[in-house]
Structure 1
Amino acid sequence: MKPIAISRLTICGIDELPTHRSHGVTHVLSVLDPEREDPTIFANFDPHERTILRFHDVIEDKEGRPAPTKADVEAILAYGETLIGSRADRRDGHLLVHCHMGVSRSTAAMITLMAQCEPDRDEDSIFTTIREMRPIAWPNSVMIAFADELLGREGRLTAALHRHYAIQLERDAMFERWMTELERQREVGFGKGLQRT
């Protein structure tokens, strides 16, 4: 995201945070479950700016665990606006986005920020970068759908997400088992519908 003077992007899970404390992280976006305690590891990071968002990683409302809302994605975009607005005050930066495992909410948030900060960038190119950055990426489809709408991408971001799912399913059968166990068969279906027979 060089247009906002952030040249390094990282996605990870909570367990990986200690490995990044000496990597010059300047900005952190934490996406946590509402009931989860805040990780204490950030006290060991160099000085940085940090924003915390809290919502669940599901794609359908479950008892006590509502799916992400448009307001949650609007909060991610508001964070992106702060990055855009503060770019004149820095020469470079390292943005770390994390959730519980660094698979779904964090990858969807990073995609949202990339699509926001680079409005002319091709959607498939964004997903290619995400796979390079985080090979286990399986972005939350509800979040991406809201991002698509809010950014005026007219369905292109969602279509690219479905192609991403198809690529991930072809790369590793683990994704189908994993997402089925997490009751995210709908997303698996999006990908399988595009696979070659």
Structure 2
Amino acid sequence: MKPLSISTLTICGIDELPAQSGRTVTHVLSILDPNWPELEAFQAYGTHHRTTLNFHDIIDADAGKILPQPQHVAEILNFGKTLAESEAEDTKGHLLIHCHMGISRSTAAMLSLLAQSHPDESEDRLFERLRQIRPQAWPNSLMIQYADDLLGRNGRLVDELRRHYGWQIKREPNYLEWMARIGRSRELEMAV
């Protein structure tokens, strides 16, 4: 597969979307909670292609919430495949991926797309690229597991995710309290 025909990659949260409107965003992947209202920020954007997925940022089943599913990650990878295969795109494109805070679902989506478009790149290099794009990245572990399976990475993305979590905890110790508070203690236990 050809690498993404995009020169600028951005990850952000909903509150940061207005600041991106002047940056000529060409493609948007929105990952939102189900039944979230349409985001007014996109009215200020120029012409762009936008795909929206709706599921919650959770890693364990929770009554009344939609758990990320393999099909959601497959849709993300299909989005990337379509982007890479597009004959009309040039290297001046700008891909913006956002979720509510720009930390978990969106970073998992970006890592999935990077792994897809750079199949021979090492997992540690993929996570390094992710941290360059979004230093506070804490990818949703369930989404990374699905991407690992779908891309045939044989557990290597998940293994590197463990190291990434450990690196993030050293860099930003407040992740320990934050992730525990939102029900993501299992990811803290994964950290190496």
| TM range, smaller chain | over 0.9
For 1:113-132, list aligned pairs within 5 A.
113-132=113-132
Moved more, 38-47 or 102-111: 38-47
- The reply on whether 1:78 has 2:78 as its aligned counterpart is yes
Query: How many pairs does the alignment contain?
Result: 190
Residue in 2 aligned with 1:171?
Answer: 171
Residue in 1 aligned with 2:42?
Answer: 42
- TM-score when normalising by structure 1: 0.94
Give percent identity, aligned residues only: 50
> How far apart, CA to CA, are the structure 2 residues paired with 1:187 and 1:90?
37
> How far apart, CA to CA, are the structure 2 residues paired with 1:66 and 1:24?
32
Question: What secondary structure sits across from 1:186 in the alignment?
Answer: helix
State the Cα RMSD in Å: 1.0
- Runs (4+) of structure 1 moved beyond 2 Å? none
- The reply on whether 1:5 has 2:13 as its aligned counterpart is no
- Which residue identity lines up with residue 133 of structure 2 in the other structure? M
Aligned-residue offset at 1:143: 0.2
> Residue 123 of structure 1 contacts residue 160 of structure 1 at CA under 8 Å; is this kept in 2?
yes
- The reply on whether 1:97 has 2:97 as its aligned counterpart is yes
> Residue 144 of structure 2 contacts residue 157 of structure 2 at CA under 8 Å; is this kept in 1?
yes
> Residue 107 of structure 1 contacts residue 137 of structure 1 at CA under 8 Å; is this kept in 2?
yes
Structure 1 gap segments, 5+ residues each: none
For 1:5-24, list aligned pairs within 5 A.
5-24=5-24
> How far apart, CA to CA, are the structure 2 residues paired with 1:91 and 1:172?
37
> How far apart, CA to CA, are the structure 2 residues paired with 1:23 and 1:38?
21
> How far apart, CA to CA, are the structure 1 residues paired with 2:155 and 2:18?
37
Question: What secondary structure sits across from 1:47 in the alignment?
Answer: coil
Residue in 1 aligned with 2:64?
Answer: 64
Residue in 1 aligned with 2:189?
Answer: 189
> How far apart, CA to CA, are the structure 2 residues paired with 1:188 and 1:67?
19
